[in-house]
Structure 1
Amino acid sequence: MNAAARSEFLSRRRVLRSASVGFASLVLSGCGFALRQAPTFAFQTVRLQGSEGTGVARDLREGLQANGLQVLTSATAAPNQAAQVVLTVLTDQRERVVVGQTAAGQVRELQLRTRFVFRLRGANDRDLIQDTELLLERDISFTETAVLSKEYEEALLFRDMQADIVQQVVRRLAAVKSL
């Protein structure tokens, strides 16, 4: 293949590649595909109550503040300060369950669970989101020879589940369109 033919082949290839990228973007935009946008809320202030000292509640407070909401807690606001909605954390617990053992009774596999139950009420005590349970589970292998590294891995998985719960709660709060 001479240089002119090679140059023509490469230019046609670029044109085809550009056309296919343009066609793919047209198809994706036509089907309604769009990147997730920052959430918008029907309220500006939220009171967070119940289990305020837990890791999920702290991360949730920070996540809501990062999205432009004013978050009131028992530590940050006077009890008579009004909030448009009240987010009540009913349950925030972590579980570590043995799901696999050897014949000698040694632990080989664990299941890590994070359970988070919350509700959202308006200022008029109307339920905006009824009691909602979020349950996340992760499986982890276990060996006695690597206890420290497995503890570190367990902590990372719990942090990951915690961040996932915060994102789910923020999305559910953003789904509330009217008070």
Structure 2
Amino acid sequence: MNNRNAPLPRRGLLLGLAAAGASLALAGCGFELRKAPVFAFKTLSLSGNSELINRLRREMRAAGTVTLVPPDQTQSADAILEILGENRDRIVISTNSAGLLRELQLQLRVRFSLRTPGGKMLLAPSEVSQTRDLSFNETNALAKEGEAELLYRDMQADIAQQLMRRLAAVKEL
């Protein structure tokens, strides 16, 4: 039977069954929207003033479940996040026949640890890294420098999200 000539109630029933089946399949696979992170600590000390640390502060405030403690009141915090190092690297991937740069790999690596004011390590010193590839053209060198800065900011945003997920993985102090 041609579906185009099907009566309207039957077509509605088929569409309803298809929609119900799709929603059941989606619910059955475990799909769920990302929720706000839940942290084991209520207050956090985060000292420093780099772009990454400022982005982390914004992420924490946006989550709304953790109060940031000023650096001079570190002992009153439940946990202390220490950024041990932030390294930016540029690695030459390829050059042309004249030896001029063609492609770069930008890397951003961040070392961090999480501990209590008493010294108990909640997260041992760990490293999170991001890489991006950048094609390079010497005639547009200034524009490529601007593009590299945008890529570094993008990597900082990704690392801040990764750090938030790592901090949320800590279940007890």
Is 2:115–2:122's contact at 8 Å kept on the other side of the alignment? yes
Over the residues paired in the alignment, what is the CA RMSD in angstroms? 2.0
Match runs of 1:44-63 below 5 Å: 44-49=42-47, 52-63=48-59
Q: How many angstroms does 1:131 deviate by?
A: 1.0
| Gap regions ≥5 residues in structure 1 | none
After TM superposition, the structure 1 stretch with the greater mean CA deviation from structure 2, 80-89 or 37-46, is 80-89
Paired letter, 2:88: R
How far did 1:40 drift? 1.2
Aligned to 1:67: 63
Greater CA drift, 83-92 or 20-29: 20-29
Q: Offset at 1:32?
A: 2.0
Q: Where does residue 133 of structure 1 map in the other structure? A: 127
**TM-score, normalising length from structure 2?**
0.88
Query: Displacement of 1:8 after TM fit?
Result: 3.2
CA–CA distance in structure 1, aligned partners of residues 70 and 99 of structure 2: 46
What do the CA deviations read for 1:99-147 (whole angstroms, capped 9, x no partner)?
A: 1111211000000000001011123311111111001111110001222
- Count the aligned residue pairs: 170
Q: Is the 8 A contact 1:54 1:92 kept in 2?
A: no
Identity of aligned residues (%): 44
CA distance in 2, matches of 1:143, 1:10: 61
- 1:116-155 counterparts in 2 under 5 A? 116-155=110-149
Give the counterpart letter for 1:108 in structure 2.
R
Contact 1:111 1:138 in 2 (8 A): yes
Q: Is the partner of 1:108 in helix, strand or coil? A: strand
Which of the numbers 103, 111, 114 marks the counterpart of 2:108? 114
2:33 matched to which residue of 1? 35
Cα gap change, 1:62 to 1:18, in 2 (>3 Å): same
Q: Structure 1 residue 18: deviation in Å?
A: 3.0
Deviations 1:26-54 (A, max 9, x none): 122123221111111111111113xx121
Partner of 2:13: 15
